[in-house]
């Protein structure tokens, strides 16, 4: 009997839940945010079109008489800003549209904002030819004309989409407000249908807002081919940097072997030969020569250890990163503290990269910084999950630069090869702070 009562009540409870689910979007915030998104789009679309078209109509004829060239930068910057508002507006409906990849190369080697095809430094330096090339490049950029095409298309699409989103509400409201309280009329049946469809109206509104966002993203978002090309270019640049770093390391090893160990081994062979010649006639002198040879062997071993520094050390596998980094600073001529707070095991490649970074940074401190004290800290990165952060600091003279072929340049290449991030702050006069973020899991780090 109890089971029968429960079975009798279940459909009522389910129907009440279904009614609640069907009409809940009417009072949800996302419905009215979508309404605001569509309404603002319908108003902003014509304004955006008027601004962009007006700018182009004024600018393009003036370019023909050269006078308009000075207006190109501000004009394109205005277009980029106006269109950029539309990208930011997508965040209202829970999404963001990043800018399209690319930009105009500046004369100083930097890449500027797509809307500003010249930099103040280039203009100040009198790089008129480079600036003019940037202007013509930007005017010939498909992104600019894609933005213009978007403004024209959005002028029509935004009001149409708003109308599609509003029509269900208008129909429902008109039927309900126009009902004459006659249960036997067809209007009553229409009323029931309108009440039933009232739950569909907010869903249609949300769907139309998503369609508008997708429309904007297709025109203004990053093209997949451009992203792939940028990634290919980035990987190619990293490959060149790594090859240069490997070649530089090989030259360092060859130079140190030739200037250090090789000379000591030659001297060692001479001492052993002289000792062999005196072993019978002058045993004491031979013993002295053998003692010198022993010292040269020890010196050669020390030189080999120095040359091998930066390669994968045995202590890293045997005792972990903390002990390996402590061995790097053990023979330092200045006090350098080491603090490792990462208490989880690291992948071999991440640990080796961290060791290389610290080893190169410490070598730069000892060779160039003229510092009195330094510090090394390895901890979990507070921003990126599954990444460690390495911070190397010294109170030296500063002025460290990422020049091509330098040790720091090779360090950056090694870190970027694993999708890490490398920054250095080294003003003239010091101090110097080097920060490297190395991913240790599936997360990747992005370059600012």
What burial letters (b/e) apply to 182-196, b meaning 16+ CB within 10 Å? eeeeebeebbeebee
Q: What integer pLDDT is reported at residue 236 of this predicted model?
A: 74
Digitized pLDDT (tens) for each residue of the chain, 448 residues in all: 344 444 444 444 566 666 777 778 777 888 888 888 888 888 888 888 888 888 778 777 776 676 666 677 777 777 777 777 887 787 777 777 766 554 433 333 333 344 444 344 444 444 455 556 666 666 666 777 777 888 888 888 888 888 888 888 887 777 766 655 555 555 666 667 777 777 788 888 888 888 888 888 888 776 666 667 677 777 777 677 666 766 776 776 777 676 666 777 777 777 788 778 777 777 777 778 787 777 777 777 766 766 665 566 667 777 788 888 888 888 778 888 888 888 888 887 788 888 888 888 888 888 888 888 888 998 888 877 788 899 999 888 888 777 655 667 777 877 877 778 888 888 888 888 889 898 886 444 433 3
Identify the three-state secondary structure at position 108: coil
Matching residue, tokens 């014509």: 46
**Per-residue confidence (pLDDT) for residue 136, from 0 to 100:** 65
338 beta partners? 376
Q: What are phi and psi of 370, to 5 degrees?
A: 55, 45
Residue spans of beta strands (DSSP E) within 76-197? none
Q: How far is it, in rounded angstroms, from Cα 328 to Cα 336?
A: 10
* Residue matched to tokens 């989103």: 165
What is the set of domains in the chain, with CATH numbers? 29-103+141-220 (no CATH), 227-308 (1.20.5), 321-439 (3.30.565.10)
The confidence score (pLDDT) of residue 368 equals 82
| pLDDT value of position 185 | 55
Burial grade of 244 (CB within 10 A; 0-12, 13-18, 19 or more) = middle
Is residue 324 packed enough to be buried (19+ CB in 10 Å), middle (13-18) or exposed (0-12)? buried
User: Which pLDDT score is estimated for 138?
Assistant: 64
Do the bridges between strand 374-380 and strand 387-394 make them parallel or antiparallel, or are there none, so unpaired?
antiparallel
* Residue 29 structure tokens: 């915030």
Residue 369 is inside which H or E element, if any? Answer: none
**pLDDT of amino acid 331:** 76
First to last CA, the chain: 69
Cβ(384)–Cβ(430) under 8 Å? no
pTM, two decimal places? 0.46
Strand partners, 337: 375
**What is the per-residue pLDDT for 215?**
85
401 φ/ψ sector (left φ>0, alpha ψ -120 to 50, else beta): beta
**Distance, CA of 24 to CA of 19 (rounded, Å):** 8
By the 8 A CB rule, do 83 and 147 touch? yes
CA distance to 18, 207, 212, 432, per residue, from 30 (Å): 20, 11, 15, 49
Nearest CA among 204, 226, 87, 55 for reference residue 154: 87
pLDDT of residue 180: 52
């Amino acid at each position: 009997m109890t089971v029968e009562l429960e079975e009798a009540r279940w459909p009522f409870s389910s129907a009440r839940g279904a009614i609640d689910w069907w009409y809940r979007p009417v009072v949800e915030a996302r419905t009215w945010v979508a309404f605001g998104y569509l309404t603002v789009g319908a108003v902003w679309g014509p304004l955006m079109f008027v601004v962009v078209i007006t700018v182009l109509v004024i600018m393009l004829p003036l370019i023909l008489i050269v006078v308009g060239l000075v207006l190109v930068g501000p004009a394109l910057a205005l277009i980029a800003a106006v269109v950029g508002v539309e990208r930011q507006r997508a965040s209202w409906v829970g999404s963001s549209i990043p800018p399209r990849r690319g930009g105009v190369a500046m004369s100083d080697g930097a890449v500027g904002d797509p809307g500003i095809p010249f930099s103040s430094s280039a203009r100040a330096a009198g790089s008129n030819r480079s600036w003019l090339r940037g202007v013509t490049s930007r005017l010939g950029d498909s992104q600019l004309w894609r933005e213009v095409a978007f403004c024209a298309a959005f002028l029509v699409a935004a009001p149409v989409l708003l109308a599609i989103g509003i029509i269900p509400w208008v129909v429902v409201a008109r039927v309900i407000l126009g009902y004459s309280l006659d249960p036997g009329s067809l209007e009553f049946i229409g009323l029931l249908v309108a009440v039933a469809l009232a739950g569909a109206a907010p869903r249609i509104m949300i769907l139309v807002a998503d369609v508008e966002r997708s429309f904007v993203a297709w025109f203004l978002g990053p093209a997949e081919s451009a992203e792939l090309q940028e990634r290919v270019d980035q990987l190619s640049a990293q490959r060149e940097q790594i090859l240069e770093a490997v070649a530089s390391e090989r030259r360092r090893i060859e130079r140190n072997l030739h200037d250090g160990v090789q000379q000591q081994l030659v001297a060692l062979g001479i001492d052993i030969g002289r000792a062999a010649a005196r072993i019978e006639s002058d045993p004491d002198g031979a013993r002295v020569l053998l003692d010198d040879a022993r010292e040269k062997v020890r010196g050669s071993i020390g030189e080999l250890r120095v040359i091998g520094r930066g390669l994968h050390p045995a202590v890293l596998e045997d005792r972990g990163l903390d002990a390996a980094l402590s061995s790097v600073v053990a023979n330092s001529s200045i006090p350098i503290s080491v603090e490792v707070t990462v208490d989880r095991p690291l992948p071999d490649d991440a640990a080796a990269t961290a060791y290389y970074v610290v080893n190169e940074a410490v070598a730069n401190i000892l060779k160039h910084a003229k510092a009195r004290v330094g510090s090394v800290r390895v901890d979990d990165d507070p921003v990126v999950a599954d990444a460690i952060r390495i911070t190397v600091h010294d109170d030296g003279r500063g002025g460290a630069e990422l020049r091509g072929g330098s040790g720091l340049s090779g360090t950056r290449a090694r870190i970027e090869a694993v999708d890490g991030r490398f920054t250095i702050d080294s003003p003239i006069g010091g101090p110097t702070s080097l920060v490297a973020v190395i991913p240790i899991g599936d997360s990747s780090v992005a370059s600012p």
